[in-house]
Structure 1
Amino acid sequence: MTSTDPEAKVRLIEDARAKVMARLRNLPMTGSAAQHTHAFSMGLIGRLVNGEPMPDDLAERYARERREIDDNNHLRTMLQALIDNLNSEIAEANRQAAPARLAALNDRLHALVDAARAQVALLGHARDAEAAVQAGAAEAWMRLSELGNEYAALRNRQQGLVQEYLGDPHRAGTLVRRYGLIANLDEVWPGWYEYATNQHYDPAPWPHEDGRPYDGQQGRDYLIWLADTPTARPWVPTVRQLEQAEEDHKRMTGLRHAERARATAEERARSNQPDPAPVRVSYRGEAA
């Protein structure tokens, strides 16, 4: 493999796999050795009951057909193994291409959000279809719906790339949902982590159904919210940036917890109250 371009490398391996798969499809379906023996026997019986003589080269004929079947089956096994190896090569090439693909998605995202902001400016104060029609901005409203669909497709592609890179759908979903949509989520939704970890209810600032904030990060209404919230910084980070964002958040969360614990201890010391006894928690998460 001589290509250093990740995308070109993926295409080369996919082309190679397509050729092998075509060769595999063109192999005759010869069946197993047992199936051949049965078919050969039934053909011989048919000739004998019709009064034909036993062939003098019976053994040679049977052995020749068996060799052809064995050769065909060995080739089939080898081609399937080659396809499996090429699939592994493609998976690794896709992993290598993921950073560049995510970076390209990030560029597309910023262009898409800029386009959405331009359409929202045409809406004026209209924020629903009826108001948009009355304001003479029906085309802008329709264009925002199209951009919303493009945005959803872009985010689905992002999720697929991260999942493909990590090989773990659950972790990929968690990373993208928490750190991969808005770079400064702590600023625009300060209570997001407490909400995500069921510590307390703090609704997201964008339009969404009650209890389903992450489902609201799609479509036209979300794009309008982004346009109306210039402090929000949407992004498509690389996997390394996602992992770094997670590490940074854990570190800051730890510092905040330590600061709260210190402040609580100081307050108790000033009021001469003893520290509370540790609470034993049952496996159900309830105080025992």
Structure 2
Amino acid sequence: MSYPRVQRAAADNEFYTAALEQLPGYQQAHATAEQAEQLLRELISPSMTLPSPLSTGIVTGEWLDAVAAHRQALSDLEARRAALIELRDTARATLASLPVLYADIMLGELNAALAPVISTGREICAGLHGASTPREVLDAGTDAVRAWSNLAPVVARYAKVRAAQFAVMAEFSDETQMAKSTINTDRRASDLLVANLDEISPSWRNPARDYNGNLMWSAPWPADDTEYFVWLVTSDARPWVPTLAQLDQQHRDRADPIQGVIATTVIDNPLTTTSPLGAPA
């Protein structure tokens, strides 16, 4: 991952920034890069104060000493500049490597950040009285309309958590592809979003086709972002931000269903720290 990409992701997304700040070595590398850049901006080229002998016709020892000192000062300045540039670039390279080296820590932090978003979404959706579309909300009355309007900032926060997750996963194309179906192209049909997708839609990975080649599968969730979020927090879906280790375990469970039952039992135990959070999508 390049430093500019990390910088852009952090500048636009507070969830990404908060997760990044938890990584080992981040604070030191960030402080070093910032200080080196500041010192580079403060470097000042030395100037000569004595007039040239060409204007006076006299070559003095004082002038020779001044020239020697000036050239030494220029040499020192370039040495400082080179050292600071090297230090800054090394610190930036370190920062760029952290989201890859410690991807599971970042993903775990984002998974934790998802929990309050889901919790808030569920509290708000309780006021919808079962409505899940704008038309149904209008029919449900004033309280439901108010609740629906309160969903917008929560849905926006959910989207930011996902954007931060995808920024991390951008460096792991194989894992991202394995989390999807090679047949089903629905953008939300992914292990990256819902932990129990196999339960929600058992045929999502390998949907059948009719005689015309069309997929015989329909998404259990709505297409609209707000309606999808309502579905997510009110259904049996278990939204999560999985770590790479959890994704790997999930793929292993599919290959070995018996072992998968054991693993799922452990994951679902509320006393474990790896249980997927029920968060909104």
TM exceeds 0.5? Answer: yes
Q: Match for residue 52 of structure 1?
A: 56
SS at match of 1:179: coil
User: 1:129/1:6 Cα in 2 relative to 1: closer, same or farther (>3 Å)?
Assistant: closer
Q: Give how far 1:119 is off.
A: 2.4
**Aligned mates of 1:245, 1:144 — CA distance in 2:** 31
**Aligned mates of 1:179, 1:127 — CA distance in 2:** 24
2:199 corresponds, among 187, 212, 217, to 187
1:161 corresponds, among 132, 157, 168, to 168
Q: Which runs of 5+ in 2 are unaligned?
A: 1-20, 181-189, 208-212, 258-281
Q: Give how far 1:9 is off.
A: 3.8
Q: Structure 2 matches for 1:1-288, cutoff 5 A?
A: 6-7=22-23, 9-29=25-45, 44=52, 48=54, 52-57=56-61, 59-95=64-100, 98-134=103-139, 135-136=141-142, 137-163=144-170, 167-168=171-172, 170-171=173-174, 173-174=176-177, 178-194=190-206, 201=215, 202-208=217-223, 219-230=225-236, 232-249=237-254, 251=255
User: 1:64/1:200 Cα in 2 relative to 1: closer, same or farther (>3 Å)?
Assistant: farther
From the two aligned structures, give the one with the greater helix fraction: 1
SS at match of 1:192: coil
Q: Give how far 1:101 is off.
A: 3.7
Q: Give how far 1:146 is off.
A: 1.8
Higher RCO, Cα 8 Å, sep 6+: 2
Which stretch has the larger CA shift, 146-155 or 118-127?
118-127
Normalization by structure 2: what TM-score? 0.63
Checking the alignment, whether the CA contact within 8 Å between 2:32 and 2:88 is kept in structure 1 is no
**Aligned mates of 2:176, 2:44 — CA distance in 1:** 44
User: 1:193/1:158 Cα in 2 relative to 1: closer, same or farther (>3 Å)?
Assistant: same
Normalization by structure 1: what TM-score? 0.62
Q: What is the root-mean-square deviation in Å for CA atoms of aligned residues?
A: 3.4
Checking the alignment, whether the CA contact within 8 Å between 2:125 and 2:230 is kept in structure 1 is yes
SS at match of 1:187: helix
SS at match of 2:56: coil
**Aligned mates of 1:63, 1:194 — CA distance in 2:** 78
User: 1:223/1:68 Cα in 2 relative to 1: closer, same or farther (>3 Å)?
Assistant: same
Checking the alignment, whether the CA contact within 8 Å between 1:6 and 1:94 is kept in structure 2 is no
Checking the alignment, whether the CA contact within 8 Å between 1:6 and 1:97 is kept in structure 2 is no
Q: Which runs of 5+ in 1 are unaligned?
A: 31-35, 209-215, 254-288
Q: Give how far 1:65 is off.
A: 2.0
